[in-house]
A and B are shown apart, each in its own frame.
Chain A
């Protein structure tokens, strides 16, 4: 049993027992990128590349302040005042070749803005991004060959033509050779099942099919880096699973570096060895997922629907480890938050049925928003 620990910044990075350090450290291992961050492993050693370097990156959006009503509108014609929004504020991190990194945060935290700067759509206000040592917004067309991008909310396929035609266009645009194209289509068909709807126009595809198609399209030219902006948004469980399996398969087969944003904790648990968490444009956590779990425990929420005859305030929560929250708008709901490692699930469920006379119940994992809240709260405590 070996537990090794490196102290970087304020965080401690642990390596789990059982994972012994191999001769060629997997980039997924927490200890490895920790070493890289310490500066002991450089780009030129062991052939492992620092695929993405983000250095003091900031993006400020200027929004004109509009006055109210017609007079205010006319006034803005003559004098313009702007509010500055720091969407991304002095962000730095490195991502190694072959890593799968979850870039997470609540809505409007600056995730997509960072992704857009990394793929060259937006130009940073200050700081820089290096993709394989090239700045994407300056060398757009060169970097574009190395990256694949999927925006969950926006398809980049041609709406009216069959999927296969879109693929053929992309084949020409990225100048993929015939043999590579065949090989990739076969691989993508096997992991994403795109062959099922290859001859349908994209507009006739379901959301899940379209996402699989978009993912396949972004992989045709075998990019070194794949940026996925909410790839599982709005998908059902089966499609989510298919997409996750595919991302794993791509990563394993082509050693593709993957950066993905998501609101789904399950995506992160299934895919990411490392997470970077951003809130209000600043990075609040960068490290392996395991650490977060270790810091906050395996938090679950049990939501009960109770009959009106029961006053939840009169019932003692199961134990001291259980936090009870009530919803003002839904008087019939009680939320019990607890650490699943400390409280036996079976016991608390039995307790809830007997004491709260629960009619219905639902168990959910901790949400990203909750994790963000907890980290922020903890950081404030540390400051005090």
Chain B
């Protein structure tokens, strides 16, 4: 435990950072409400023009479920993925400040895990609680998200929290790997754009993975990205039974361990080639 204590300042610092930028929620809210409205109308058009009309089910999603999915994914993305890991690593490399971390008795990755978790906790506390409360309240209230048993819902909600933490860690690990690639190239902007696009597409943020073609869908559902957005949301929507919940959480956990390992190997190679500027 005492070994973890030295990472506390980094978690605290990023939590404080969240508070410093808390008014970002206003711009986020304006953009997001418009985006969600567009998506709602888009899906409305899709379902209305389908054979069974508005009440049909496409790839296992009814129109109502689709709306719930869109709303929850949007909140989830805002609360869970808020990291600038790639930018921080790129800056440390370009400005040579990476040396400051290499001479301290802390792990570089550990520092980022601490700040990701710190930011995640603060985001959950400040924005997560009110946004989920409002979102779920409305969706359940208007009957879009039917809750048969309150205990069933609470159990799924707790599993969702576990899946959220894993999603945050997975996102951090993938960002870290992309960040370490900045040792080899100066194209940080491109790397970050690539990362964002890949995650948005393969995690089911843009479109549930069920909508992908057959084989592709099978592959993607076993990739780490599914655990970063779609799976936590489907757990919360109670689309998974407990066995499936356990399965997707285990897969995510396995991927997280594997990605951390890859990140570590990559970092160990990268710092051998590091050439700190300035003599």
Contact = CB atoms under 8 A, between A and B. Distances in A.
Nearest to A169: B9
A149 B105 CA distance: 12
Given A151-B99, A168-B9, A172-B8, A122 B274 contact: yes
B106 A173 contact: yes
Interface in A198-254: none
Interface stretch (A10-18, A104-112, A316-324, A349-357): A104-112
B276 interface: yes
A154 B279 contact: no
B279 A175 contact: no
Contact of A108 (B5, B100, B279): B279
A123 B103 contact: no
Contact of B105 (A121, A144, A154, A168): A144
A111 B278 CA distance: 11
A177 to B, nearest CB: 11
A61 B279 contact: no
A109 to B, nearest CB: 9
B138 interface: no
Contacts of A149: 103
Interface in B33-78: none
Interface in A130-164: 140-142, 144-145, 147, 149, 151, 153-154, 156
A174 interface: yes
Contacts of A119: 102-103
A145 B105 contact: yes
Interface residues of B, number: 24
B107 A121 contact: no
B102 A120 contact: yes
A382 B160 CA distance: 78
B103 A175 contact: no
Interface residues of A, number: 29
Contacts of A145: 105
A120 B105 CA distance: 11
A189 interface: no
A163 to B, nearest CB: 15
B271 A123 contact: yes
Interface string B262-279: 000000000110111011
Nearest to B99: A121
Contacts of A169: 9, 13
Contacts of B254: none
B105 A116 contact: no
Interface in B71-99: 96-99
A119 B102 CA distance: 8
A141 B105 contact: yes
B279 A112 contact: yes
B22 interface: no
B105 A173 contact: yes
B214 interface: no
Given A108-B279, A113-B279, A153-B278, A144 B9 contact: no
Given A121-B274, A154-B96, A154-B100, 14 more contacts: A116-B99, A116-B276, A119-B103, A120-B103, A121-B98, A121-B276, A144-B102, A144-B104, A144-B106, A154-B278, A169-B13, A173-B9, A174-B104, A175-B5
Interface of A: 61, 107-108, 111-113, 116, 119-123, 140-142, 144-145, 147, 149, 151, 153-154, 156, 168-169, 172-175
